[in-house]
Amino acid sequence: MNEQAENPGLWDDPAVAQKVLQERTALEKSLIAQKEAETARQEAIDLLEMAEAEQDTAMIAEAEATLFALQKNLARRELEALLSGEADKNDCYLAVNAGAGGTESQDWAEMVLRMYMRWAERTGYGLEFLEQSEGDGAGIKSATLKINGLNAYGWLKAESGVHRLVRISPFDSNAKRHTSFCSVWVYPVVDDNIDITIEEKDLRVDTYRASGAGGQHVNKTDSAIRITHIPTNTVVQCQSDRSQHRNRAEAYKMLKARLYEIELQQREAKLQALEDKKTDIGWGHQIRSYVLHPYQMIKDLRTEAETSNTQAVLDGDINMFLEASLAAKVGN
């Protein structure tokens, strides 16, 4: 890989060059992590042997804690090595949409969006905002992120579905308990090598004025783009750029990725059919329940994984759910 990367002719084809560099970087990270794990294991064992010889209980506890942490880390890396799906290594798009319920659901949608952003930051992934529609008074109606990093799609693909929140509403003066819903859709970023045919006659393209914080940053032209693929009723939108042309190009890439994800679902038969994904954002269709009142519990309804540390999860610590989904998939 190093020889290929140092070949001056590599950049004659930028797409191939980028792929080579990405693969080399992934291999380097894997080798470094492996060596670090081997070193940490041996150091912990040496420390444990010395601590036992000196009957130093504090040092024994420290060595054991190091070994348990290493075991947990290696278990995750073992799962990650099983991400062998056709698009698992790709970057991904993540779209969040508020369900019915106005301000309550819009605020919940923003909380879920923040959760995934925090997770991506913790994982070292890059983030790009492609679209965001502000809520009526609070929260968001919808938002789309592009998450850049090795295996981003593989880790997040099982997050597609409806997420349900039960809490005392901060918007209810009577402090009543409310149930809110939002949907999440994750689909892979695809390159030009993926052959997805899209007929222009099947598209409806709408322009609109992008929403923003106001002031000098507000977009005063109709540069935001919404594309609807009529046969599948698939809708994508982009407002990240002031250029309508660039927003249209990015939206077209997103549409291609969405249609590719649909094709993957049908071909692999590992996810529900597309029509099941288009059900109402409400009761009976949730994949995970977030209960903040009368008790604290987040539970995945597919894997039975659960935790009472709700604040950590909402701050982006969702690895236990991602790992449980991947382990369940491997087990099947």
Q: Mapped to the 3 state alphabet, what secondary structure does 116-128 carry? A: HHHHHHHHCCEEE
For 271-324, the pLDDT digits (tens) are 444 445 545 565 556 899 999 999 999 999 999 999 999 999 999 999 999 999
How confident is the model at residue 98, as a pLDDT?
Answer: 95
For 25-67, the pLDDT digits (tens) are 878 888 898 899 999 999 999 999 999 999 999 999 999 999 9
How confident is the model at residue 213, as a pLDDT?
Answer: 46
Residues 314, 126: Cα–Cα separation, whole Å: 19
Q: Can you read off the two tokens belonging to residue 307?
A: 């935790």
Q: What is the mean pLDDT of the chain?
A: 86
How confident is the model at residue 11, as a pLDDT?
Answer: 87
How confident is the model at residue 227, as a pLDDT?
Answer: 93
SS3 97: strand
Sign of the torsion formed by the C-alpha atoms of 287, 293, 294 and 297: positive
Nearest CA-CA partner of 271 in 188, 155, 158, 185: 158
Q: Please, what is the angle between helix 14-54 and helix 57-80, to 10°?
A: 160
Residues 153, 83: Cα–Cα separation, whole Å: 10
Nearest CA-CA partner of 1 in 30, 39, 37: 30
Q: How many CB atoms lie within 10 A of CB 23?
A: 15
Specify the pTM: 0.74
Q: Can you read off the two tokens belonging to residue 283?
A: 């009761």
What CA–CA distances, in Å, run from 121 to 71, 145, 152, 200?
23, 13, 12, 37
Residue ranges in the chain whose pLDDT is less than 70: 191-194, 211-221, 267-285, 330-332
CB 298 within 8 A of CB 289: yes
